[in-house]
Structure 1
Amino acid sequence: MNKVIPLSVPNLSLDILKNIKETIETGWVSTGGRFIKEFEEKTAKYVGVEKAVSCQSGTAGLHLALRVLGIGSGDEVVVPTVTFIAAVNPVRYVGAEPVFMDCDDTLNMDMDKLEEFLENECYYIDGKLMNKKTNKVIKAVIVVHVFGNPANIEKLMEIKEKYNLRVIEDATEAIGSYYLEGKYAERYCGTIGDIGVYSFNANKIITTGGGGMVVSNDKELLDKVAFLSVQAKTDPLYFIHDEVGYNYRMTNIQAAFGVDQIDRLEGFIETKIRNYKLYKEAIENIEGLTLLSFRSDTRANHWFYSVIVDKEKYGMDRDELLRKLNDNHIQTRPLWGLIHKQKPYMENQAYKIEKAYYYEKNLINVPCSSNLADEDVEIVVERLRIYKNRVVR
């Protein structure tokens, strides 16, 4: 049987065992314990903010972000259609509605179209941005740094100031990515908008099995995030709750993984960049395939690698290639189904979605784990060459 090459799996070290052993010996395996604070402090230091608040998942972090920014029933939030649905569902959790935006060639939100939409389809009055079509207030933008490739945050922040918007950075795929040039040079994804969220799901570049982290330069926002994440206990001793809160805290046993994983993050990124370059050099010589680039004015974490399939030049379409690779134990996947086409959101406004359809039809993600060996890359590339020559084995 052929070797199985997974798409994206955790890169774990047995060094973590001493942390796990401590959680068991002390009994601190749930939502209290020293590793939670240590992981929060390490994350804050790594991305260059004063404070970080851990939570149950990236999705929980986005939900909390919307809550503390005052987004609620009757409001609208601009979101990308090219993303995982977890970036959009929290908008509904708070009673608001999404407005969908197209992507550019980085797969991130098209900021030119966003600007065009706000200028032509909205009006600004008394400090509020109103959607002409729905007559609802647009309060925020959720920008996703897709596959770890930083979005055009400089333009988005200009738009934010012009229209009095709040910006939530969904950096769930982008911990470790930062800008090299411009106004936000040396700033990490997630630390520039009003609030940022990271994910530590098992397929992310570092993992705690589950879990997420919320960061901001506004300490009051983070204090409110922490408050809501523990069931909004106004008086923990006497169980007084003045608001509706959530059971959204990270566990100590998860954080015990995190304090080890974040120390290894830079090494993981180094490996991902090296493997990306191996793919890039090889795929450039296969007609009909293109490996999407990461922005040159950033240091992207290179979380996922994206290959575009040109059916006419390659000889088969994306879906056929997808099936053949998976049949040969090379785990690949298509781009997410566009969110504005999903059943819960088909009635929501979507503005000039064009480029997203091209990428939805022609993109595959190839294996990219941070423990992917050179020989694994060679196996994937060789299979891509075989299919190009239509000698299917």
Structure 2
Amino acid sequence: MTAAEHFISLITVASAKKLATALVACFVLYHGLIHLIYGSDSCKWLLEEGRYKGDKEWQPYGCMMHHYTQTDSRRCLRYLAFMGHKNHFVFTGDERIRQLYKSFVLQFVVNGKGSDPADVPPTSDLNFHDAQLRLNVQFLWRPRLDSSMITDFRNWMTGEAPAMIVAGCAAGDILSHNASSSRLYTEYSNGLVRLVQPADALVKRGSEFLWMMQDPVLKENLPAHLTGLDNKQINLCNRAAYEVLLHSGAHLWESSRLIGQGVLEQSPDGYLASPSSLRHKIQILLNTHCNDHMNFGDGTCCSSPEPATTLQLVTLAAMAVCVVTGGGYWLLRKIFHKTEVLYSRVVTQEVEAADETHEPEDPREEIPQANDFYSLITSLAIFSCILGYFYLCDR
């Protein structure tokens, strides 16, 4: 037999089953380890990790985003208002946050009504209201991480807390320190430390606080008033935010930085986000806020799995009984088979002598009926394992 013929002889139904079982076991082990290491919070995955696909659409790690149209966005907030939830959003920070605020508001503006006047100074606070949605969106001009921003957070601790707060700044702090990295890191970290207590208190009150990590800049395209910015110092601010806020109630919006970094060449001035980047960031905010309340089949990020029904629990219990019974029966057969083999070696001659003196019996009577039950229970056990795997994948 040649090597090729020997290899072909190994390709059987039994070997295919063994290979499939090994692959499934590897998949379960791999994903189990990932969940143990990274956790199972899909909101955390949405806000922290992801990549661009070939069509330049953003794909978060471990879950799927729903694309919110204006109709979907309004439907979500209308439902939340009906259920008594707060539709109060606050964006606080510098030009980048102001840009994000404007893109967010456009998601709810109908026929251009409610947009900000063109003559509004770029450093002013902004407000958007929609009575039908009970929606209140604020932008607070806070270009630096100073006492003004801290005071806002402390006021929310005792007053009406927003449903979602998106904050972030770095350019003003970097430019004010004249490229002194050590001083920048110290003062920026101190400002973040002062945010930790209000952030924890607001999260306990039901608010969601996102600290937007800073996108890199395209230095050769920066306008004159921002030429002092440097990616090294931006990374320093991001590192300080990571070290201080990692174990607080704030969510570090790291995927925002990854989105901006991936399409940095599309930035209009090397600093502000491109339209493509803004679109992805707004979709992340809407998926974070709405998915758990809406029944979109393609939006699994930030969506809690439905609780198991009574029928599912009863079925799982029956499947578990089948698996335990089938596994136990298989194990007993293995143990008794070894015993029978040892015993048969001792009495082989006696059996042969008895066969010679007696007439042959009907072979059909020698087939033990126990084999039928064994085949049934092991088949049910295997079928239960397959169904359990599909249920696990669905969850």
TM-score, length of structure 1 as denominator length: 0.29
Larger proportion of helix: 2
TM-score, length of structure 2 as denominator length: 0.28
Query: Which structure ranks higher in relative contact order (CA pairs < 8 Å, sequence separation ≥ 6)?
Result: 1
Larger proportion of strand: 1
